[in-house]
């Protein structure tokens, strides 16, 4: 498994990251044995980056991940997240600190490697956000006095958090751009996939309904931030396994390659992506992702075929 630098943090993390969120659900629900097996296999194959959140399964993802890693005697890089609720907006910095203390207890770690702000950011506060749960924050909630960064700074000063990140999945690209320009964040979660390349490329999505991230991924990379790609398989849509009727859009193969392989290798072909997060349901999916990453860059023929199919894949559906 190749490692890539996580921006300017000095951390080197695996090209494939282990997603512990609800999309696959393995780290939140069900028996311990398959969880243990999948995490053990991932570690053996060189995956050293795990993504969880206080919100995933109301803390169960963090607790399960912490316990499984302790059983395996492993200490990979673990990223978690703070998701503020409307009531937390009365005391944002304090709420950030309390959330991180909860994550620390559930994971069983004294020091957290990386903590992302899970809330999306827009030009104006709103009680709910179109993507994700909890309120949409405005830029001042994050950067202003008593805001998220103040909470993060206090935690860093106490040695409890090493690095912090923000999120470009939903929200407003201009507001995200202001977070990037603030130079307060070390990393960013970014929606980047075969279907939606707008975090790097100027793409017109027209009637597809896909969000336009206005090249925020490239802007963050230019500032030295690490870039963690999510929705690499569009939650299963790029494997044809989703319940979403639009899954049919992703059921094709490109040449002899499964679309999931093309999707993963496409994201990793971008050298500014640090790691491609994948939600795994079982060991076979861990094996597959690692195999895809090991196959390296897509050939020019496949890239050309992918280009030809992109428009069809982006059928108006979401």
Ligand X SMILES: NC(=O)c1ccc[n+]([C@@H]2O[C@H](COP(=O)([O-])OP(=O)(O)OC[C@H]3O[C@@H](n4cnc5c(N)ncnc54)[C@H](OP(=O)(O)O)[C@@H]3O)[C@@H](O)[C@H]2O)c1
Give phi and psi for 212, each to the nearest 5: -105, 115
Residue 169 C-beta: closest distance to ligand X, Å: 5
- CB nearer to ligand X: give 59 or 202: 59
137 binds ligand X (CB under 6 A): no
CA nearest neighbour of 173 among 135, 207, 133, 220: 220
What binding mask, one character per residue, do residues 172-211 give for ligand X by CB under 6 A, x or -? -----------------x----------------------
| Interaction residues for ligand X, span 149-168 (CB under 6 A) | 167
Q: Which residues within the stretch 252-291 sit at the binding site for ligand X (CB under 6 A)?
A: 260, 277-281, 285, 288-289
Of 277 and 293, nearer to ligand X (C-beta) is 277
Query: Residue 232 CB, nearest distance to ligand X (Å)?
Result: 5
Per-residue buried b or exposed e for 240-276, using 16+ beta carbons within 10 Å of the residue's own CB: bebeeebbebbeeebeebbbbbbbbbbbbebebbbbb
Please say which residue, 230 or 249, places its beta carbon nearer to ligand X.
230
Contacting residue, 59, 129, 234, 249, with ligand X by CB under 6 A: 234
Rounded CA separation 179/158 (Å): 23
Distance between CA atoms of residues 130 and 126, nearest Å: 10
Cβ distance to ligand X smaller for residue 131 or 146: 131
Of the candidates 6, 11, 13, 24, which one interacts with ligand X according to CB under 6 A?
A: 24
What is the crossing angle of helices 148-157 and 92-107, to 10°?
50
Taking CB under 6 A as the criterion, the residue among 38, 107, 232, 257 binding ligand X is 232
Taking a C-beta distance cutoff of 8 angstroms, is the pair 292, 45 a contact?
no
Our finding on whether 139 is near ligand X (CB under 6 A) is no
- Which three-class secondary structure state does DSSP give residue 220? helix
Match 């950067």 to its residue by tokens.
Answer: 143
Q: Which is nearer to ligand X, 157 or 256 (CB)?
A: 256
User: Of the listed pieces 7-15, 21-29, 93-101, 195-203, which binds ligand X according to CB under 6 A?
Assistant: 21-29
Which of 212, 130, 219, 114 is CA-nearest to residue 177? 219
Q: Which of 34, 46, 94, 132 binds ligand X (CB under 6 A)?
A: 132
Which residues fall within 8 angstroms of residue 111, CB to CB, at 6 or more apart? Answer: 159, 160, 161, 162
230 part of the interface to ligand X, by CB under 6 A: yes
Distances (CA, A) of 147 to 88, 96, 280: 11, 9, 34
CB of 300 to ligand X, least distance (A): 24
Q: Which is nearer to ligand X, 65 or 92 (CB)?
A: 65
Interaction site with ligand X (CB under 6 A): 19-21, 23-24, 51, 118, 132, 167, 169, 189, 230-236, 239, 241, 260, 277-281, 285, 288-289
């Amino acid at each position: 498994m190749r490692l890539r630098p996580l921006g300017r943090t000095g951390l080197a993390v695996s090209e494939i990251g282990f997603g512990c969120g609800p999309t696959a659900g393995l780290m939140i629900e069900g028996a311990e044995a398959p969880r243990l097996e999948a995490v053990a296999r991932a570690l053996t194959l060189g995956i050293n980056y795990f993504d969880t959140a206080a919100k995933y399964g109301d803390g169960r993802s963090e607790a399960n991940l912490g316990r499984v890693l302790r059983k395996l005697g492993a200490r990979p890089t673990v990223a978690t997240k703070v998701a503020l609720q409307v009531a937390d907006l009365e005391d944002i910095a304090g709420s950030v600190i309390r959330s991180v203390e909860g994550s620390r207890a559930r994971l069983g770690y004294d020091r957290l490697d990386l903590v992302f702000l899970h809330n999306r950011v827009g030009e104006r506060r709103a009680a709910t956000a179109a993507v994700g749960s909890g309120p949409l924050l405005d830029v001042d909630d994050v950067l202003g006095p008593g805001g998220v960064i103040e909470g993060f700074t206090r935690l860093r000063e106490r040695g409890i958090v090493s690095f912090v990140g923000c999120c470009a999945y939903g929200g407003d690209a201009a507001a995200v751009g202001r977070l990037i320009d603030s130079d307060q964040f070390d990393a960013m979660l970014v929606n980047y996939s075969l279907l939606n390349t707008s975090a790097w490329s100027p793409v017109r999505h027209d009637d597809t309904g896909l969000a336009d991230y206005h090249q925020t991924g490239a802007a963050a990379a230019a500032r030295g931030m690490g870039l963690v790609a999510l929705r690499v398989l569009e939650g299963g849509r790029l494997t044809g396994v989703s319940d979403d009727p639009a899954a049919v859009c992703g059921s094709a193969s490109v040449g002899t390659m499964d679309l999931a392989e093309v999707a993963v290798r496409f994201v990793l072909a971008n050298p500014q992506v640090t790691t491609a997060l994948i939600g795994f349901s079982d060991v076979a999916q861990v094996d597959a992702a690692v195999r895809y990453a090991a196959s390296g860059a897509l050939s020019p023929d496949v890239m050309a075929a992918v280009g030809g199919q992109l428009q069809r894949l982006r059928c108006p559906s979401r």
